[in-house]
Amino acid sequence: MGAKKWWAICLALVIVSAGCSGDDGGDNGDSSGIGSEDAGINPGVGVTDDAIKVGYNADLSGASSPMVTQTIEAAKVYWEWVNENGGIAGREVQPIILDNGYDALKYAENYERLSENDSEGVVMIGQSDGPPGVDGVAVAKDLLADGLAMVPLSRYSGWVDPSIGANVFEVQASYCLESINGVTFMAEQHGNTVAIISFPGEYGRDGATGAKLAATALGLEIVYDGEASVTPGADHTSIITEIVNSDPDFVWGSVDPATLSVILAGAVKQGYSGQWSGNSPTYNFELMGGGLADLLDQYYTHSSPTVMWNTSDASGMKEVVAQMAAFRPDAPVSDAYVNGWTNSMVVHQILEQAAANGDLTRAGVVVAAQEVTVDLKGLSPNQSWSGEPNENLVRESYMYDVQKSSFAGRSTVADGDAGTGFKLIEGSYSSDTAIKHDFTEACFTVED
């Protein structure tokens, strides 16, 4: 893939939404497909008789690295566990992890390396996250041209649309559907007026569009429409003023934790006492470790496409908690591990299906992904990409109360009772508004 192609990609307006050898885990349980045997498999790029290479184009040192490094750590633990139990089709899964530093050119360089048709190439991409201009619709076109399957970290609703994300196998509810559920829930609990604030680009505008779809369906009044009005790191005084003056029953945000903390604290300081919620990337449990714990406890409700760390008795939660403790006992608790784990489960079950089909080529992986229904063991709703998008669209999410009393601070995963400050209120939750949503295309579409 040439430099000119990547320069073109970098001009697109897009936004998203991140091998160590572990300690001896002993008897670490079971997982679907672990220890399967090679039964006459046709290998392709990224697959040998001994290994399967899965690519990761991740921000390990840039703007989103605090979260992404933890999703990657969970992925590394997952594959160490799988390999300790026999790998896939008798082969060791080798995660090829490249740091893009949230830099467009580095992301492009990493993708070019991972997509090569030689010994440097991988059979599929198991996680992708990067800066505006590359990790979105633009890269989806190249995945199709290169015959590569990708499991994204972002949850843009366009991935469900085959005209946009044909080779992208999304996990969990999109930002748009999560917003539809979240706004419905908040309206039922807190009232009929809402302010919407969001970043520009795929993440922010997909989330804001979902919030507006819910508001229209429910007859809510949008007293302040701040779609695409929030710029990361900018002066947010005008946004705070709009929220205070419009005095909504609740605010729905599609921003990031740093931005949320400034806007929420500023609005409360000026006398606003309404409730707050937003798409999952808007909030991070580590905000509870700062000076906002009391405000967040009082005013914030967290929306998530997955269950949060140690808040469920689901078999998948027991699995991720046990294996992180076995392989990385000194790692701090984090909800990001759940995202890294679910992505890895998706990759694992797709590769198992490809192996069962006897075709571990890139094309065989794409076919396998279209055949499976991935069992996520209660960490989030099961996932399928077969049939019509409106039929297999994930419409469920989870709503959590943020509680100062449930925040375990800097506890490690070895503390099996440690939590990140959440109590489940509703979930998996699919609102009537989300159930009735007729998906025919992406909620928000980036113009070429």
Which contiguous run of DSSP H or E holds residue 368?
A: helix 362-369
Q: The domain 45-173+312-381: what is its CATH number?
A: 3.40.50.2300
Every domain of the chain and the residues it spans? 45-173+312-381, 175-304+397-436
Same fold, 45-173+312-381 and 175-304+397-436: yes
Q: Is 0.95 topped by the overall pTM? A: no
Looking at residue 53, what DSSP letter applies?
Answer: E
Q: pLDDT tens for the chain, 448 residues: list them.
A: 443 334 333 333 333 333 333 333 333 444 444 444 455 899 999 999 999 999 999 999 998 999 999 999 999 999 999 999 999 999 999 999 999 999 999 999 999 999 999 999 999 999 999 887 677 777 899 999 999 999 999 999 999 999 999 999 999 999 999 999 999 999 999 999 999 999 998 899 999 999 999 999 999 999 999 999 999 889 999 999 999 999 999 999 999 999 999 999 999 999 999 999 999 999 999 999 989 999 999 999 999 999 999 999 999 999 999 999 999 999 999 999 999 999 999 999 999 999 999 999 999 999 999 999 999 999 999 999 999 999 999 999 999 999 999 998 879 999 988 899 999 999 899 999 999 999 999 999 876 4
Helices (H) and strands (E) in the chain, counts: 15, 14
Which residue type does 265 have?
A
Q: The domain 175-304+397-436: what is its CATH number?
A: 3.40.50.2300
Euclidean distance between CA atoms 322 and 317, whole angstroms = 8
- Residues 156 and 442: beta-carbon distance below 8 Å: yes
- Residues 75 and 343: beta-carbon distance below 8 Å: yes
